[in-house]
């Protein structure tokens, strides 16, 4: 049955923080498993669920000493006895990527600390920040790790502050020079090996530059020493109060830093509100030490673009260059960032152009009839891409008025999904208890399963497909939805849980709220560097969540996912899309290097580097396509004209090279269609494959629904269809019956010719002999004669037939899809798919039988 239960979108929906999607203990088909990489002692005193993809999860995973992606502008490491942090001073561009290698400028601790790893822990955390406590006896140091704060903030109780240089000798302290040596010795060049100073503000310099130290609770006395290639700054007595430490990159920055050092953040409330198709994301920092309006924070480009009524000091007053560009100052403890939300749900906002409708229906009929057999999944990722692609066929069929086809697809999808709910399945979801989440049941102790899914890599990539396909089934069958809602909700809760009140899942697992996008990397390898390659699949994660929220009537989940979707798409356009024409000095330019921007697309954004590369491929078409796919209606927001035109120009050499896969080209053509549908349609007509997550039907539907697509399919090349005999144009010979199953041109004349039925295949067709019913096949080597010897058509039985370039009208070339080589008639009359170029092909006339 077809369900017509849809969500009614209120004109204004407001909330501070949404409640949980569910609070029930997950009971998936795979039961419960426990990771072989549980948290270390960092979470002592707390219980799961724990963050797995946050910028600071390296404090808790593995040995706990990974370099963590923040709190920017700093990066940090927790050692057994100290918080180490620093700002990279060595930005490099190597022709492919910008690198800002991490460096630890200082370590901050206290003299009384035991040095035991168990004597530091997470005191608390929220959606952006974490408070770390070091403790020994009654002495404690709380470190407020707050992204966006230019200062590192440490609160001591009965502990003697100690700073250890991580970048060479201390050369000056409080204005006094220091040279290397032992404490108390005297240098003949009048440089002391130590310096002492008392007060509430100090400066200290090592090879990383100058840092300022502020005391917010009275005067301290420090002794600085330089020895053994480093040095320390140590207080003379235990201290109770707050110290703030900040990198002074330029002397002119000190005025702003001095003016605002007293007000410090200890955490942040991340909330949101909705009005119609707009969302406002609000950061409100909890502050101490003074007026909230005096809080000094730092912004990245994506913040500045979206902030409403900000208080921005001049950018010359303070700046730090990071992988995401310059961080510039903002005053006040409240930021409001406004995002337009998608009004696109299941399908494009325009009907398919009439010129494409016959092709779309033919594609649907063919692809649905040729779906692979229902089979148990072997993994999460590739299964997800497949069901995501198939679900689009149902939605397109519904648009085209072919509910018979849509029903066939839904039946197929339900049979596929049955494996997820069956405990007897080999590959199935399980609830992992050490961190809290749904994983591939085989991955709890093997990082190589499903790209590290069991170690919390790529969950939003994987589960977006699951949710989109499940939503499609539910759209057509409310009974199925009601039966399996709870099981599907496990995937929803895993990636878009909005609430700390869910006792089984962390909040919005992959999202880094301050960075403005998601991280794909989880706890693998000690949860070191954060990265995300496929921003397109991250967007799809939230699109799938949005559709599931829509179809199940969960208004909060729907709006929450819409907001996450809008933020991810915005981040894609800021940090993954590059615009060569933009100025290097633009305030919101993340990549000042013109050479990098000329590469058009970032393949991988990491905390310390970003560049046009991938872990698994180096082709331009791969780098661009993985940021585009999967192509769904909602992504027309993301495929802006300036970027897709730049991608087209940058990848042109590979797009024009037949040795590069059509799988990648297909999605680039679709993104380009947002700006140039006619050219995209013509180029799409030459495709013979679409990859695991795209299809011919989706290709044609997306082309047909672009702005300005009127008549877009009218001049698109296509195979001739019908019953014909083949005649070699240059000799007049016909492909004869007598040599079957081999195809050989000879002198028997039309009366002795083989009659072929030329049938439809996407952008191509089949050749079936009328007399024997056998399909013509072409092997991938191109060394064997074409043979009419297959009972059914598959990939080796597909041919692309087009008007031959430079030949008379009605003379065609034939290309075998099996190897993209052209059919050539040899001296002995045999037909082989061995021509490397179209100019090598034999020209054929199609003579009506």
Mapped onto helix, strand or coil, the DSSP state of residue 150 is coil
Mapped onto helix, strand or coil, the DSSP state of residue 85 is strand
In SS3 terms, 316-344 reads as HHCCEEECCEEEEEEECCEEEEEEECCCC
Query: Considering the domain boundaries, does residue 531 fall inside one?
Result: no
Confidence of residue 563 (pLDDT cuts 50, 70, 90): very high
- Give burial (CB, 10 Å; 0-12/13-18/19+) of 209: middle
Total Cβ atoms within 10 A of residue 706: 24
Query: Considering the domain boundaries, does residue 397 fall inside one?
Result: no
What are residue 459's phi and psi, to 5 degrees?
-60, -40
**Which pair of structure tokens corresponds to residue 94?**
């190597």
* CATH code, domain with 835: 2.80.10.50
Q: What is the pLDDT of residue 12?
A: 42
What are residue 410's phi and psi, to 5 degrees?
-65, -40
Which residue shows structure tokens 């560009």?
325
Instruction: Give the model confidence (pLDDT) of 588-630 as tens digits.
Output: 999 999 999 999 999 999 999 999 999 999 999 999 999 999 9
Query: Considering the domain boundaries, does residue 111 fall inside one?
Result: yes
- What percentage of the chain carries pLDDT values higher than 70? 97
Q: What is the pLDDT of residue 525?
A: 85
DSSP structure class, residue 576: I
Q: What is the mean pLDDT of residues 638-650?
A: 98
Instruction: Give the model confidence (pLDDT) of 752-806 as tens digits.
Output: 999 999 999 999 999 999 999 999 999 999 999 999 999 999 999 999 999 999 9
Domain around 768: 722-848
Domain boundary residue, one of 199, 231, 265: 265
Predicted structure pTM score: 0.95
Which residue shows structure tokens 């001591």?
156
- Reference 128, options 281, 351, 305; nearest CA is 281
Query: Considering the domain boundaries, does residue 816 fall inside one?
Result: yes
DSSP structure class, residue 397: H
- Reference 137, options 163, 153, 116, 155; nearest CA is 116
Helical (H) or strand (E) element with 757: strand 756-761
- Reference 276, options 473, 12, 666, 522; nearest CA is 12
Q: Is the pLDDT reported for residue 182 higher than 80?
A: no
Query: Considering the domain boundaries, does residue 532 fall inside one?
Result: no
Q: What is the pLDDT of residue 518?
A: 98
Q: What is the pLDDT of residue 13?
A: 44
d(CA 245, CA 249): 13
Q: What is the pLDDT of residue 185?
A: 39
Q: What is the pLDDT of residue 15?
A: 44
Query: Considering the domain boundaries, does residue 415 fall inside one?
Result: no
Query: Does 546 sit behind a cis peptide bond, omega within 30 degrees of 0 on the bond before it?
Result: no
d(CA 398, CA 239): 70
Query: Considering the domain boundaries, does residue 24 fall inside one?
Result: no
Q: Is 803 within 8 Å of 795 (Cβ atoms)?
A: no
Total Cβ atoms within 10 A of residue 741: 15
**Which pair of structure tokens corresponds to residue 596?**
């990098």
Domain boundary residue, one of 265, 297, 324: 265
Integer CA distances (angstroms), 8 to 154, 344, 453, 495, 649, in order:
49, 14, 35, 24, 43
Instruction: Give the model confidence (pLDDT) of 245-278 as tens digits.
Output: 999 999 999 999 999 999 999 999 999 999 999 9
Confidence of residue 181 (pLDDT cuts 50, 70, 90): low
Query: Considering the domain boundaries, does residue 333 fall inside one?
Result: no
Q: Is the pLDDT reported for residue 511 higher than 60?
A: yes
Confidence of residue 8 (pLDDT cuts 50, 70, 90): very low
* CATH code, domain with 109: 2.70.98.30
Mapped onto helix, strand or coil, the DSSP state of residue 789 is strand
Which residue shows structure tokens 């300005």?
708
Confidence of residue 447 (pLDDT cuts 50, 70, 90): very high
In the structure, how many helices (H) and strands (E) does the chain have?
16, 44
Domain boundary residue, one of 265, 297, 316: 265
Q: Checking DSSP bridges between strand 799-803 and strand 437-440, what pairing results, if any?
A: unpaired
Q: What is the pLDDT of residue 11?
A: 38
Number of structural domains the chain divides into: 2
Confidence of residue 184 (pLDDT cuts 50, 70, 90): very low
What are residue 834's phi and psi, to 5 degrees?
-130, 5
Total Cβ atoms within 10 A of residue 84: 22
Q: What is the pLDDT of residue 16?
A: 67
């Amino acid at each position: 049955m077809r369900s017509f239960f849809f969500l009614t979108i209120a004109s204004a929906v407001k909330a501070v923080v949404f409640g949980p999607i569910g609070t029930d203990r997950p009971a998936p088909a795979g039961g419960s498993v426990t990771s072989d990489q549980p948290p270390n002692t960092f979470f002592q005193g707390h219980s799961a669920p724990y963050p797995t993809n946050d910028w600071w999860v390296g404090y808790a995973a593995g040995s706990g000493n990974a370099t963590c992606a923040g709190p920017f502008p700093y990066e940090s490491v927790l050692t057994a006895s100290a918080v180490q942090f620093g700002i990279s001073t060595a930005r490099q561009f190597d022709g492919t990527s910008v690198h800002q290698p991490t460096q630890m400028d200082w370590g901050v601790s206290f003299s009384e600390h035991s040095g035991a790893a168990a004597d530091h822990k997470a005191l608390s955390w929220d959606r952006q920040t974490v408070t770390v406590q070091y403790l020994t006896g009654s002495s404690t140091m709380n470190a407020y790790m707050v992204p966006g704060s230019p200062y590192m903030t440490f609160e001591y109780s009965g502990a003697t502050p100690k700073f250890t240089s991580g970048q060479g000798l201390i050369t000056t302290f409080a204005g006094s020079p220091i040279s290397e040596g032992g404490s108390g010795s005297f240098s003949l060049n009048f440089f002391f090996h130590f310096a002492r100073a008392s007060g509430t503000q100090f400066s200290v310099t090592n090879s990383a530059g100058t840092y300022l130290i502020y005391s917010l609770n009275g005067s301290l006395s420090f002794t600085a020493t330089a020895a053994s290639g480093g040095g320390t700054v140590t207080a003379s007595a235990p201290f109770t109060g707050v110290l703030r430490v900040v990198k002074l990159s330029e002397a002119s920055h000190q005025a702003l830093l001095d003016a605002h050092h007293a007000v410090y953040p200890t955490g942040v409330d991340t909330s949101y509100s909705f009005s119609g198709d707009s969302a406002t994301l609000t950061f409100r920092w909890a502050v101490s030490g003074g007026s909230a309006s005096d809080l000094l924070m730092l912004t990245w480009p994506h913040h500045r673009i979206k902030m409403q009524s900000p208080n921005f000091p001049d950018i010359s007053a303070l700046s730090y260059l990071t992988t995401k560009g310059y961080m510039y100052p903002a005053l006040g403890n409240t930021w409001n960032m406004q995002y337009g939300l998608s009004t696109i749900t299941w399908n494009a906002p325009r009907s398919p152009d009439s010129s494409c409708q016959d092709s779309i229906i033919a594609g649907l009929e063919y692809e649905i009839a040729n779906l692979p057999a229902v089979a148990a999944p072997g993994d999460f990722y590739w299964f997800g891409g497949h069901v995501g692609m198939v679900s689009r066929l149902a939605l397109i069929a519904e648009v085209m008025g072919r509910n018979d086809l849509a029903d066939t697809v839904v039946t197929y999808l339900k049979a596929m999904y049955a494996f997820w709910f069956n405990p007897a399945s080999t590959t199935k979801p399980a609830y992992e208890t050490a961190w809290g989440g749904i994983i591939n049941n085989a991955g709890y102790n093997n990082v190589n399963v499903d790209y590290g899914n069991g170690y919390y890599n790529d969950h939003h990539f994987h589960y977006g497909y699951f949710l989109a396909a499940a939503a499609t089934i539910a759209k057509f069958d409310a009974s199925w939805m009601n039966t399996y809602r709870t099981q599907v909700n496990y995937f929803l809760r895993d990636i878009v849980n909005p609430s700390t009140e869910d006792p089984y899942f962390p909040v919005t697992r992959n999202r880094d709220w301050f960075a403005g996008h998601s991280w794909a990397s989880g706890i693998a390898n000690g949860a070191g560097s954060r990265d995300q390659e496929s921003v397109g699949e991250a967007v799809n994660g939230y699109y799938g969540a949005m559709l599931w929220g829509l179809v199940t009537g969960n208004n909060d989940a729907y709006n929450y996912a819409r907001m996450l979707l809008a933020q991810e798409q915005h981040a894609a356009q800021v940090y993954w899309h590059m615009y060569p024409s933009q100025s290097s000095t633009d305030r919101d330019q993340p990549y000042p290097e013109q050479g990098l921007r000329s590469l058009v697309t970032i393949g991988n954004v990491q905390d310390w580097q970003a560049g046009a590369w991938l872990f698994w491929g180096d082709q331009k078409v791969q780098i661009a396509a993985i940021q585009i796919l999967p192509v769904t209606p909602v992504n027309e927001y993301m495929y802006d004209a300036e970027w897709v035109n730049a991608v087209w120009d940058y990848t042109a050499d590979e797009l024009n090279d037949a040795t590069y896969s059509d799988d990648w080209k297909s999605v680039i053509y679709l993104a380009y269609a947002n700006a140039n549908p006619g050219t995209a349609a013509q180029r799409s007509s030459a495709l013979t494959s679409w990859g695991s997550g795209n299809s011919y039907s989706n290709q044609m539907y997306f082309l047909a629904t672009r702005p300005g697509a009127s008549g877009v399919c009218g001049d698109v090349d296509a195979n001739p269809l019908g019953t014909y005999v083949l005649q070699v144009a240059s000799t007049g010979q016909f492909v004869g019956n007598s040599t079957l199953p081999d195809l050989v041109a000879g002198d028997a004349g039309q009366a002795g010719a083989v009659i072929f039925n030329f049938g439809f295949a996407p952008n191509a067709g089949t050749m079936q002999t009328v007399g024997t019913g056998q399909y013509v096949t072409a092997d991938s080597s191109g060394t064997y004669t074409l043979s009419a010897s297959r009972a059914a058509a598959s990939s080796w039985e597909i041919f692309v037939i087009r008007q031959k370039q430079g030949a008379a009208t009605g003379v065609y070339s034939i290309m075998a899809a099996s190897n993209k080589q052209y059919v050539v008639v040899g001296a002995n009359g045999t037909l082989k798919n061995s021509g490397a170029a179209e100019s090598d092909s034999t020209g054929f006339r199609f003579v009506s039988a």
